[in-house]
Copies of this chain bind each other. A is one copy, B any other.
């Protein structure tokens, strides 16, 4: 974690106290204007009209006063140092303004101006000037190309656009960091309408300095914030995003996340929007599933999952009881639970007995329980059944849908629910299933009692699934913490200088150095093969040309299999050499590779270094499975053996490993070990190696191990020093 002290970030060029950003005592508005149709005028107006209680220092040599605030010709002339500056001048002027801020002792600036990285060649040059100004001045930047920030708790409406004109927002324990201000603030408005209040909202635009991850990192330390929301188009440092997500998971605060810019057409649009280009979506998904990010698609997901977490209860497992007076809702919730890998165990015999005695004759006494409409307004009976499930150790969460919630007895029912929910550590979630304002009294009781409620049965399960999943991720994160002695120690490797792709034999030596079993093979020259008096290995053999310049040997006729005698071996060696020379006359030939034949189920095990997320390990079945069917699984390297094992069972083809259709179970332990070793190899040597592919890696029955039959290592030609 890069935060050693609350709110002070050290991983960045200059540590910065982000309290000055989020809760400044004073704000300088550079490029302020008396014309409120201009951004610089609108900001001052919004600060004023929103009721910001700190000092506001408009800066513009043209004016002496704006909105009743004294105006200053420059930031250095304010007389005292502002906590924070908001910059709304033309892009070309921004670098100089930042330098001035530095001189004036302002440590952080929010740059609204656009025309930087998102605006083509001239903008990219300007962004570089801005980078220089940041480095020289020590001023830390949010933006450029953002629309500002809001602190509802402090009545600070510090930005421009329609989102800042709504001063009636109610505050709540949710914060947002968004790369798109327009989208983000419309979300805030819509959520407020559905009863979810935000405390802080920060738009980050191009993120040339402070990033989404930096800001979330700070926000997670705020005790009043329970849920974080973010909209991400791309990030520069994927590992930092992961780290912050793991911090969120550890402290029990979800980060609800819109990840966009994933399709080809959307990535092009991002380039001209915030220029936050980055890694493939699959890697973000890998990061999210291993940390506290929960991907959302709609306002409703945000509202429902936030409500779930704001209840303050995280379940201890995936076992759910569904209690309804509507069979239809019960059936629907059962399906949704199943999709979300929540289970609905049958009530244990004693519980069954006790519920049966409480229910009318046509009720379905199982899970989901359907008490039918016959229970009517008898809230006490309904709640007795709920209580029986709450008290049963067979369930981790209780989902409730009571049809008579709109009746006159609804407040009494709600009061009963609150009492039950407050007396247990399990989440008790209510599917409201009515228009909220027709039954406001009961709803208000639930709200005030901290019982999460949801408009529909389906949305109730959305929240339950997020809670259940969060618990499982927390458990996995705890389990993945292993002592340093369980990690693989770094082994030096030798890469030939100035080479991109290595030959097959050279590649295998690299993976063998990390203890991954490779097929028996030896490199010969033609003369050596002519003089062989016995086969180096048991027949049948395979002969291949060894050359870093021939990627597709089979297509070049440079592979011969099924060799069963010395004469066949000699003939094959000559043949592959001739064929290689014919197809690739300029290729460097390093010899003829003679291998023992091996077999098993074909896997692909690989590693690569992503610019954003760093080293990654990837596993799939061979043949068409990885390439056509995309049945692959990924982790950031290095991984523990436990995570490696998880990867195997995440494949859609996983049943094959456990002994499919009378086949023996495969050697999962050996495979997990190979994944573990490859992940350490790519991780230790990420500066020297760009990519490793073991294809195929054969896996045999349990106890017989795995073996790499072919491998390719691609070096990083820049080959940075280790």
A interface with B by C-beta (< 8 Å) = 37, 114-115, 118-119, 147, 160-162, 178-184, 186, 189-190, 192-193, 231, 233, 258, 260-266, 268-270, 272-274, 297-300, 325-332, 334-335, 337-339, 344, 362, 364, 366-368, 370, 372-373, 376, 403-404, 406-407, 433-435, 455-459, 555, 624, 627-629, 631, 652-653, 655-656, 660-662
Given the contacts A180-B328, A265-B344, A653-B628, A299 and B456 also touching, CB distance less than 8 Å: yes
A627 to B263, CA, bound (A): 31
Residue pair A328, B404 in contact (C-beta under 8 Å): no
Chain B residues, CB < 8 A from A181: 328
A231 touches which of B118, B193, B328, B404 (Cβ 8 Å): B328
Residue pair B273, A328 in contact (C-beta under 8 Å): yes
A372 to B179, CA, bound (A): 14
A161 touches which of B264, B266, B403, B555 (Cβ 8 Å): B403
- Closest approach, in angstroms, between the C-beta of A699 and any C-beta of chain B? 14
- Closest approach, in angstroms, between the C-beta of A108 and any C-beta of chain B? 24
Residue pair B373, A269 in contact (C-beta under 8 Å): no
Selected A-B contacts with CB under 8 Å, 9 pairs: A37-B376, A182-B328, A182-B403, A186-B434, A260-B331, A261-B331, A265-B334, A273-B328, A274-B327
Residue pair B629, A631 in contact (C-beta under 8 Å): yes
Residue pair B335, A260 in contact (C-beta under 8 Å): yes
Chain B residues, CB < 8 A from A272: 327, 364, 366, 370
7 new A-B contacts, CB < 8 A, other than A119-B362, A162-B434, are: A182-B329, A186-B434, A269-B364, A273-B330, A273-B364, A628-B655, A628-B656
Chain B residues, CB < 8 A from A189: 434-435
Residue pair B652, A338 in contact (C-beta under 8 Å): no
- Closest approach, in angstroms, between the C-beta of A612 and any C-beta of chain B? 17
A299 to B455, CA, bound (A): 9
Chain B residues, CB < 8 A from A628: 652-653, 655-656, 660
Of A184, A193, A328, A339, most buried by chain B (CB within 10 Å of CB) is A328
Chain B residues, CB < 8 A from A178: 328
Chain B residues, CB < 8 A from A434: 162, 186, 189-190
Residue pair B652, A372 in contact (C-beta under 8 Å): no
Residue pair A624, B656 in contact (C-beta under 8 Å): yes
Chain B residues, CB < 8 A from A368: 265, 269
A555 to B661, CA, bound (A): 11
Chain B residues, CB < 8 A from A299: 455-456
Residue pair A182, B652 in contact (C-beta under 8 Å): no
A627 to B661, CA, bound (A): 10
A238 to B337, CA, bound (A): 26
- Closest approach, in angstroms, between the C-beta of A385 and any C-beta of chain B? 16
List the 8 closest A-B pairs by CB distance, nearest first.
Answer: A180-B328, A273-B327, A182-B326, A183-B328, A263-B338, A272-B364, A266-B334, A193-B435
Chain B residues, CB < 8 A from A335: 260-263, 266
Residue pair A183, B329 in contact (C-beta under 8 Å): yes
- Closest approach, in angstroms, between the C-beta of A394 and any C-beta of chain B? 14
Residue pair A264, B338 in contact (C-beta under 8 Å): yes
Chain B residues, CB < 8 A from A190: 433-435, 455-456
A300 touches which of B300, B407, B435 (Cβ 8 Å): B300
Residue pair A433, B364 in contact (C-beta under 8 Å): no
| Chain B residue with the shortest CB-CB distance to A407 | B162
Chain B residues, CB < 8 A from A624: 653, 655-656, 660
Chain B residues, CB < 8 A from A179: 328
A362 to B406, CA, bound (A): 53
Chain B residues, CB < 8 A from A268: 366
A195 to B312, CA, bound (A): 34
Given the contacts A119-B362, A653-B629, A433 and B186 also touching, CB distance less than 8 Å: yes
- Closest approach, in angstroms, between the C-beta of A630 and any C-beta of chain B? 8
A370 to B266, CA, bound (A): 12
Residue pair B114, A326 in contact (C-beta under 8 Å): no
Residue pair A266, B327 in contact (C-beta under 8 Å): no
- Closest approach, in angstroms, between the C-beta of A660 and any C-beta of chain B? 7
A631 to B332, CA, bound (A): 26
Of A231, A329, A334, A456, most buried by chain B (CB within 10 Å of CB) is A334
- Closest approach, in angstroms, between the C-beta of A121 and any C-beta of chain B? 14
A407 to B262, CA, bound (A): 32
- Closest approach, in angstroms, between the C-beta of A119 and any C-beta of chain B? 6
